[in-house]
Structure 1
Amino acid sequence: MIINLSGKKAVVSASTAGIGLAIAKGLAASEAEVVLNGRTRESVDRALNDIRRSYANAKVTGFAGDLAIPQTCEKMLAEHPNCDILVNCLGIYALQDFFDIDDTEWERFFQSNVMSGVRLARGYLPRMVAKGWGRVVFISSESALNIPPEMIHYGFTKTAQLAISRGLAKRMAGTGVTVNSVLPGPTLSDGVASMLKETASAQGKSLEEVATEFVWQHRPSSVIQRAATVEEVANMVVYVCPTQASATTGAALRVDGGVVDTI
Structure 2
Amino acid sequence: MNGQKSRPFRHNTDLGQNFLVDPSVLQFILEASAPGPEETILEIGAGQGVLTRQLALSGCRRLYSLEIDRRLEGDLATLEKAFSNLKVFWGDAVTFDYESNFPDPPQKVIANIPYHITTPLIWKLLEDLAPRGLRYLLLMVQKEAADRLTSPAGTKMRYPLGVTLELMGHARRLRRVPPGAFRPAPRVDSALIEIGIDRRQDLAGDRSWRRLLKAAFGQRRKTLANNLGASFSLSREPLLSLFSDLGMDGKIRAEELDGDQWLRLAQRLTPWLPPSR
Question: Which range, TM-score by smaller chain?
Answer: 0.3 to 0.5
Quick one: higher RCO (CA 8 Å, sep 6+), 1 or 2?
1
- For the pair shown, the structure with the greater C-alpha radius of gyration is 2
- Larger proportion of helix: 1
